[in-house]
Structure 1
Amino acid sequence: MTYDFDTVHDRRGTSSIKWERYRPDVIPLWVADMDFRSPPEVIDALQARVEHGIFGYTSAPESLVQAVLESVRSEFDWEVKEEWLVWLPGLVCGLNVTCRAVGNPGDQALTFTPIYPPFLSAPPLAGLGLVKVPLAESEGRWGIDIELLQQAITPQTRLLMLCNPHNPVGRMWTEAELSALAAVAAQHDLVICSDEIHASLVLEEGGRHLPIAMLSEAVAQRTITLMAPSKTYNIPGLGCSLAIIANDTLRRSFRKAMAGIVPHVNLLGFTAAEACYRHGEPWRRELLEYLRGNRGLVEREVGRMPGFRVARVEATYLAWIDARGGGIDDPAAFFERAGVGLNDGAEFGLPGFVRLNFGCPRSTLQEALHRMVQSVNG
């Protein structure tokens, strides 16, 4: 490989949320933050910008806008217009803005569980009711039960919140699945908010992410797509995300909900994002190969833990592990005692599971999985 993903970098003492959550002897594999240095082209761009020495208020450079448009055209074959873009200091911010922009207090937002926790907190914070529709699981593969979805919709439902690819179950939704969702949204006149932050992290060979807004012009007109380079290129601390909103009225509502409460993206976030979109593709390709190897390691080692199952990770670097058959009441606490910090499935709306972040050097992952296997098998 041209790029180094094997070197272990000491992140303790850097105020890392990931690494300073646990006692020092615990390997943290929880929050979606990789332990790889960002692409060297990104680091070089940041250093060059810092050398300028003046850090005033900054708008999105036109060169960044064009880089985004070129990137989504190249990667997804999606023709996005410049005026559709709305810049945000974080994708979670976008979820919360959407919940304030769509509907009124007392209306409802609907999402599928298990799900990334901000999907569960954003609607209530905006005064919306939260409707949770369980994903269907069969032999470790997760899917959407359209009949259950139809039953959950009420006259107050205004918003369908989708995670595509899905965090935490790792699904890359198919065109048929997305089309079925879009048909339901059209039938009930729902706005779709689609979190597609992991769109560039497809691990299945030959797989290609499909933004739901690409299904048709009609679907695009009811969709808010949230994207960012942060997960793919490991720059979450730089806070640069964007919403893609084709519908003028919906975009105005979104901007109105932002007014006075959402800060501008910082200039280093813009700088890093442009470097990612313009120069990060070779690094991304090698990252995906490395993550595929880590995924295989997770699958093999979880297979050595009686009663445990792991869903096939089609996209993301997050493994969703079913611990219900292992006879352990609180798997997250159990593995923390064994020296591995994982997300508790209860945070995602489904106790008995844990989420493992395998975006780390293989030696770190091997040691963590060894601890997990040993703790389960005695």
Structure 2
Amino acid sequence: NFDQLIDRTQSSSEKWQKYAGTDVLPMWVADTDFQSPPAVIEALTQRIEHGIFGYTETPDSLNAVFIERMQRMYSWSLATEQLIWLPGLVCGLNLAVRSTCSETGSAATATPIYPPFMSAPQLSQRGLVKVPMMRHGSHQIIDFDALQKNLTPETELLLFCNPHNPGGAVYRQAELERLAQIVIENNLVICSDEIHCDLILEPELKHIPVASLGPEIAARTITLMAPSKTWNIAGLGCSVAIIENPTLRAKFARVRKGLVPSVNLLGFTAAEAAYRDGDEWNRQQLTYLRANRDYLLREINALPGLKMDANEATYLAWIDASALGKESPQKFFEQAGVGLSDGKDFGDPQFVRLNFGCPRSRLEEAIRRMRAALC
């Protein structure tokens, strides 16, 4: 029941604690307000009833379920040794930078972008090359010409996001093929964050893992995936790095040693249940999110000073507020009782990001407050 309003204020939720004690609706960080699938809850309950929570290796059954899924959905053949399970996707971004960029090297990424893409090179004292997005048909993607122009001999890694966050663009095969050509011609490694791959809203679109395009690009790719956004289990911390090249995989694993812990056993349990038994639940969720997206698109574009494109994927709307003439649109809407992500953190302070992964009644209340502030 995606319409159900569940009280998260007493659960130490990061999303809800930010505005604890205030009348601000939290519509910012990327987790939904939907209860996780019954299959996930049941699997966790059974594991908890066992009552022993010692050190746990990656279950063979999880590897098998994931490998079968990649073959079934993308015709992408993988082996168990090519999977490195991690307690989160952000640490994967940081490990990718540290394992592929020399001390004088740099990483490139397209902006606006999820903030850890920009912080990961800086935290490891590597350089960062920012490349703008461009409109291509109905969506915004990386500007290929600008990417090619801005690469330097020191650029060793491309940090890539598909579907893109923010904005929700889904890259088409021809676009990915062009990107792969640039990566290969410039001797780069690509770290592809594909965490939102199961949240494609347009039925006619399909996710394509960049590494599935062929062996030449696969040998240069670190793919990051996770069940966390789709099945709302981010707090259980389970992600996977897929690295087919054994040399690249060994470098990644070596940097990880002693710094990044293994996945906790409940994270493994939830991930396996989600990947094995969560697809029907997700189909229903996508129908609900699509309706929320369509409602939000109509309402936002009817408000003075705001505009947004239709998300092709994700529940994270990217809203252009530049026509408002506000120094900080995020603070403006926060004062109106709607807590949005600040576009400044993604690379554009005149935008805000709104999480519409919530019951429709909450989304309608957010719109009511935004309208009252603007009209």
Shorter-chain TM range is: over 0.9
What amino acid maps onto 2:256 in structure 1? M
- List 4+ stretches of structure 1 deviating above 6 A: none
Q: How many residues align?
A: 374
Partner residue of 1:185 out of 183, 186, 189: 183
Partner of 2:107: 109
Partner of 1:120: 118
Partner residue of 1:271 out of 269, 275, 285: 269
Cα RMSD (Å): 1.1
- Displacement of 1:208 in angstroms is 0.7
What amino acid maps onto 1:107 in structure 2? G
CA distance in 1: counterparts of 2:72 and 2:227, whole angstroms: 15
Partner residue of 1:5 out of 2, 7, 14: 2
Partner of 2:158: 160
Partner of 1:345: 343
CA distance in 2: counterparts of 1:218 and 1:125, whole angstroms: 30
Are 1:94 and 2:92 matched, yes or no? Answer: yes
CA distance in 1: counterparts of 2:368 and 2:249, whole angstroms: 49
Partner residue of 2:208 out of 207, 210, 219: 210
- Displacement of 1:140 in angstroms is 7.3
CA distance in 1: counterparts of 2:227 and 2:102, whole angstroms: 31
Q: Is the 8 A contact 1:338 1:375 kept in 2?
A: yes
Please show how residues 118-157 of structure 1 align to structure 2 within 5 Å.
118-137=116-135, 141-157=139-155
- Displacement of 1:138 in angstroms is 7.1
Partner of 1:31: 29
- Displacement of 1:307 in angstroms is 2.4
Which sections of structure 1, spanning at least 5 residues, go unmatched? none
Q: Is the 8 A contact 2:23 2:337 kept in 1?
A: yes
CA distance in 1: counterparts of 2:201 and 2:288, whole angstroms: 10
- Displacement of 1:177 in angstroms is 1.1
- Displacement of 1:158 in angstroms is 0.2
Are 1:289 and 2:281 matched, yes or no? Answer: no
The 1:325–1:137 alpha-carbon spacing in structure 2 relative to 1, beyond 3 Å, is: farther
CA distance in 1: counterparts of 2:77 and 2:169, whole angstroms: 24
- Displacement of 1:72 in angstroms is 1.5
Partner of 1:237: 235
Partner residue of 1:333 out of 331, 336, 343: 331
Partner residue of 1:319 out of 289, 313, 317: 317
CA distance in 2: counterparts of 1:65 and 1:17, whole angstroms: 30
- Displacement of 1:328 in angstroms is 2.3
What amino acid maps onto 1:178 in structure 2? L
- Displacement of 1:93 in angstroms is 0.7
Partner of 1:68: 66
- Displacement of 1:75 in angstroms is 2.1
What amino acid maps onto 1:199 in structure 2? C
- Displacement of 1:68 in angstroms is 0.5
Per mean C-alpha deviation after superposition, the further-off stretch among 299-308 and 47-56 is 299-308
What amino acid maps onto 1:9 in structure 2? I
What amino acid maps onto 1:13 in structure 2? Q
CA distance in 1: counterparts of 2:36 and 2:145, whole angstroms: 43
What amino acid maps onto 2:260 in structure 1? V
CA distance in 2: counterparts of 1:249 and 1:373, whole angstroms: 55
Q: TM-score, normalised by structure 1?
A: 0.97
Q: Is the 8 A contact 1:104 1:127 kept in 2?
A: no
- Displacement of 1:139 in angstroms is 8.9
Partner of 1:257: 255
Q: Is the 8 A contact 1:164 1:196 kept in 2?
A: yes
Q: Is the 8 A contact 1:113 1:133 kept in 2?
A: yes
Q: Is the 8 A contact 2:300 2:307 kept in 1?
A: yes
What amino acid maps onto 1:356 in structure 2? L
Q: Percent identity?
A: 55
What amino acid maps onto 1:113 in structure 2? T
Partner of 2:169: 171
Q: Is the 8 A contact 1:72 1:78 kept in 2?
A: yes
CA distance in 2: counterparts of 1:124 and 1:130, whole angstroms: 7
The 1:138–1:76 alpha-carbon spacing in structure 2 relative to 1, beyond 3 Å, is: closer
CA distance in 2: counterparts of 1:75 and 1:291, whole angstroms: 21
CA distance in 2: counterparts of 1:201 and 1:140, whole angstroms: 18
Are 1:20 and 2:35 matched, yes or no? Answer: no
- Displacement of 1:329 in angstroms is 2.3
Residue-by-residue CA offset, 1:245-287 (whole Å, 9 max, x unaligned) = 0000000000001010010100000000010011101101000
Q: Is the 8 A contact 2:294 2:310 kept in 1?
A: no
